[in-house]
């Protein structure tokens, strides 16, 4: 096996050759599915080259990546749902229990770190592709910038929710799946997965059609102030599809801090608690909310109406369709009896 240094030199030379020789095409254009998704190490693959513009970083793929590291859980689950576990050489930063149907495959892949791994730790896995879920995956101040990976001959992709370009909706989830599938030469798998997820969302939305919109406050964490989901992130659209309205949908961020006085003023009827490791348990969060005198008259607190969602389920990934159904049941229980 090549040493990491030799492999980086080889990857860098290969990447330079690809940029000079590959014809630019839009992502997925002319791509045809392969039952094997393109064998790792193959010198050519049907439907390639493919060019993807991700958060302003344009990359041309002459063949599917074969050694992938995912940082954060939702990119890993998306890869696994597309049947790409044979390409994965490392995962990092799990924040909730993996979906049961994906658990065996996930556990078979080496975990590089409990949080974001160092640049050197990632290089040790000898990847040719790094897929990050949050912007922190490519934190420049921690030595993991996308440029640093590019200089090492390693391609990168950032979940589109953190490109910061526009408000994210469920359509972006479907587009994310199709883009990743295009990079790996398996567009047919994306068609099947998107059809399944869209069906789940449509079924939940149909069940609550015509119901009054329920005001929802998302509680991620915080005590002096509340860290909540803003209008730019997917969470706001999930609430809309489930028959609710994010009371902080006007916050022009994916996540942001608001005051408890603002929470009181907006009188949410339901509180969606985001559950993930490192931010206190769900029970701790409930106890905190119920113990605050200032919140006693907030309808959601007074009536103890809480919906719990794994944080991973509220992001651009395969769980978001499941979250719509869970939210819809919590907001409109009578529609599901």
pLDDT tens for the 337 residues of the chain, in order: 333 333 333 333 333 333 333 333 333 333 333 334 444 444 456 789 999 999 999 999 999 999 999 999 999 999 999 999 999 999 999 988 899 999 999 999 999 999 999 999 999 999 999 999 999 999 999 999 999 999 999 999 999 988 877 889 999 999 999 999 999 999 999 999 999 999 999 999 999 999 999 999 999 999 999 999 999 999 999 999 999 999 999 999 889 999 999 999 999 999 999 998 878 899 999 999 999 999 999 999 999 999 999 999 999 999 999 999 999 999 999 999 8
How far from the centroid of its chain's Cα atoms is residue 38's Cα? Answer: 24
- Rounded Cα gap, residues 47 and 60, in angstroms: 12
3-state secondary structure of 12: helix
CATH number, domain 4-158: 3.40.50.1980
Query: Is there a shared CATH topology between the 4-158 domain and the 211-336 domain?
Result: yes
Peptide bond just before 49 cis, omega within 30 deg: yes
3-state secondary structure of 220: coil
Which residues partner with 71 through β-bridges? 132
- Rounded Cα gap, residues 166 and 131, in angstroms: 20
pTM: 0.83
According to CATH, the topology of domain 211-336 is Rossmann fold (3.40.50)
**DSSP H or E stretch at residue 69:** strand 68-71
Spell out the domain ranges in the chain: 4-158, 211-336
């Amino acid at each position: 096996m090549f040493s990491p240094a030799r492999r980086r030199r080889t990857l860098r030379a290969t990447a330079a050759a690809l940029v000079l020789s590959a014809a630019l095409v839009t992502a997925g254009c002319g791509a045809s599915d392969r039952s094997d998704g393109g064998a790792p190490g193959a010198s050519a693959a049907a439907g390639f080259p493919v060019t993807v513009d991700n958060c302003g970083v344009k990359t041309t793929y002459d063949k599917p990546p074969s050694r992938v590291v995912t940082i954060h859980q939702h990119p890993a689950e998306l890869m696994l749902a597309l049947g790409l576990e044979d390409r994965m050489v490392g995962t990092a930063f799990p924040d909730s229990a993996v979906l049961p149907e994906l658990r065996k495959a996930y556990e078979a892949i080496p975990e590089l770190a409990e949080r974001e791994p160092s640049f050197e730790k990632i290089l040790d896995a000898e990847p040719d592709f790094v897929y990050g879920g949050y912007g922190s995956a490519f934190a420049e101040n921690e030595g993991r910038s996308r440029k640093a990976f590019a200089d090492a001959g390693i391609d990168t992709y950032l979940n589109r929710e953190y490109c910061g370009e526009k408000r994210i909706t469920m359509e972006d989830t479907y587009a994310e799946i199709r883009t990743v599938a295009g990079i790996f030469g398996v567009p047919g798998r994306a068609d099947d997965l998107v059809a399944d997820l869209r069906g789940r969302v449509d079924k939940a939305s149909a069940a609550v059609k015509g119901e009054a919109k329920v005001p929802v406050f998302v509680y991620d964490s915080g005590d002096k102030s509340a860290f909540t989901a803003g209008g730019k992130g997917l969470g706001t659209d999930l609430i809309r599809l489930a028959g609710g309205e994010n009371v902080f949908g006007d916050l022009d961020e994916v996540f942001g801090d608001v005051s408890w006085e603002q929470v009181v003023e907006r009188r949410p009827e339901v509180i969606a608690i985001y559950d993930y490791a490192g931010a206190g348990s769900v029970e701790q969060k409930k106890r905190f909310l119920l113990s605050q005198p200032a919140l006693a008259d907030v309808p959601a607190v007074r009536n103890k109406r809480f919906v719990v969602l794994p944080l991973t389920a509220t992001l651009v990934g395969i769980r978001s369709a499941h979250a719509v159904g869970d939210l819809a049941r919590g907001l409109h229980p009578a529609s599901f009896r």
